[in-house]
Amino acid sequence: MPVRDAVASDVDEICSLIEEHAVYEGKNDLKLDREQMGRHLFGAEPKAWVLLAEAPDAPGVVAGFAFCCWNFSTWEARPGIWLDDIFIRPEHRRHGLGRELLAELRGRTDGRVEWEMQADNEKAAAFYAGLGAKTVDGWLQYRWLPG
């Protein structure tokens, strides 16, 4: 099952996946600016990167993605990966694509791979636990919005 780095011509597919994920999570009105996303991913100073997973039974058909950026741990003195979003289209689930995307991320750093998950997502929690991922006890998430 191929996992590959996204390229500039994948911007529409990436945005479609993000919008589909939003609908899956109950946010039906998300519409992304493809040009802006293209600049952030493939412009002169990229801010993030994307892995795409292709459907095992339909080569070339994008089944899911992992949207990532690099982070850095001062205490470990090495880079890691922040996984901002991972999504497999429902019709392509149960083929190991999520596991394959995460394995690719794990192979790209000897640092931490970190992400967030909604607290009530029991299926995802079981999946991540099956990978050996652990919750980060004792930490709270903060968000500082503009304005």
Return the active site residues: 128
Tokens of 101: 């995307």
Burial 79-94 (b: 16+ CB within 10 A, else e): ebbbbebbbbbeebee
